Amino acid sequence: MPEEGLEWLDRSDLLTYEELARIAGVCVSRWGFDGIRITGGEPTMRAHLPRLFELLAPLGVDLAMTTNGVKLPDLAADLAAAGLRRINVSLDSLSRETFLLLTRRDELHRVLSGIDAAIDAGLDPVKVNCVVIRGVNDDEVVDLAAYGRDRGVGMRFIEFMPLDASGEWTADRVVPASEILEKISAVFPLEVVGDAHHVQPAERFRYVDGRGDVGVIASVTAPFCESCDRVRVTAEGKFRTCLFSLEEQDLRLVMRAGGTDDDLAAAIESAVGRKWAGHRIGAVDFVRPERSMSQIGG
């Protein structure tokens, strides 16, 4: 997060839970979506969040959430009761100082307690996401892997992408997934789970001694754009077909103008029809989107 913080949206600009559930319902009924993930910014900042999962649960799809974990000690049990089934918690460092540097918040203890609360609430699986940045936290990869093994949670190491809010991304700060795996396997030997090249988005590896697994998401060095089937809706209702998309379809406008579900479906189909072949990170013609990850949703 940049030191000056981020611009807050007016509450009226945000989709209501009913509007979010309506979009989800159209996607499930028209095209058979089988999974929905609630991300952010930070989803637990929304009041009465369990209500959203109560609205989504009747759709009968896999419900997941990605969170910074700070509010999980208070929310995990209620979210599980409302229909949440699995969760990813962002944890980029086990060092209080590094955590504070990255998040501008002295909340490491709350995140670790939140992971424990998610486990206690019966969420399964509980996974932990770590974005690895050279010179910042790449020296903690093995420590984080050990933490995952000890707590029985799956670590997911993610290559640093040009979506940081502070705009400081450079290619030399990317730690390739192959390097991450080498570091871990040197201490805790790994083996491939199935065909790693066809598991998306994370390539999964299990520990040879049977104590869990680890995944890497190589969005920069080995992107999976050809097989990507994910789409996103931002908090204010902009439909995006890629994290790095330069175009957005305004679904909020369709709904608040009185559009039918058919109109909503047509807008979604139009956007998907224009989906590009890939994000082109590293190419000379790559254009960074104006929004950061915290504004798009992971």
Write out pLDDT tens, residues 59-110: 999 999 999 999 999 999 999 999 999 999 999 999 999 999 999 899 999 9
Query: Is-contact 203 227, C-beta < 8 A?
Result: no
Write out pLDDT tens, residues 192-214: 986 544 445 789 999 999 999 99
Distance from C-alpha of 243 to C-alpha of 246, rounded to nearest angstrom: 9
Helix (H, G, I), strand (E, B) or coil at 297: coil
Helix (H, G, I), strand (E, B) or coil at 103: helix
Residue 10 is encoded by which pair of tokens?
A: 């007016």
Helix crossing, 72-82 with 108-120: angle to 10°? 30
- What is the mean pLDDT of each successive set of 10 residues along the chain, which is 298 residues long? 71 96 98 95 94 98 97 98 98 98 94 98 97 97 98 96 71 94 98 64 92 92 79 93 84 98 97 77 62 62
Q: What is the pLDDT of residue 286?
A: 63
Tell me the domain boundaries of the chain. Answer: 1-32+234-298, 125-229
